[in-house]
Amino acid sequence: MTSIPHGTPGDPDPLRALGLERLRRRTSMKWRTYPEDVLPLWVAEMDVPLAGPVLRALTDALALGDTGYPAAPPTPRRWPGSPPSAGTGTGSTSAAPRSSRT
């Protein structure tokens, strides 16, 4: 299967960029669980090429051997619209306040 133009000229349709032969060489559960006469159509796994910036970031990290867990961000983050106690510590009742007695 070849790339099919999508949108502007030179902008291939990412859903058609990888042929079935190439997808069947993948080692994920999606492509290894079923026999070749079954076309697995899972929603959770995308069969598209990696975006250029993602591919470069991964390649750079692997070239450096940077495969450990990332450092924690300087301040906790939370989803917009979530209550203040969801990840920020503000308003949390999970820890008792310190006593002022010495």
Q: Residue 61 has what pLDDT?
A: 93
Q: Residue 35 has what pLDDT?
A: 92
Q: Residue 57 has what pLDDT?
A: 93
Angle CA 83–85–89, to nearest 5: 145
Angle CA 51–1–17, to nearest 5: 10
Q: Nearest 10 degrees: CA dihedral of 31, 32, 35, 37?
A: 10
Residue 10: which H helix or E strand, with range? Answer: strand 8-12
Split the chain (102 residues) into runs of 10 and give each run's mean pLDDT: 49 79 88 90 76 92 90 73 61 48 52
- Say which residue the tokens 């070239």 belong to: 63
Q: Residue 14 has what pLDDT?
A: 79
Tokens of 83: 């209550």
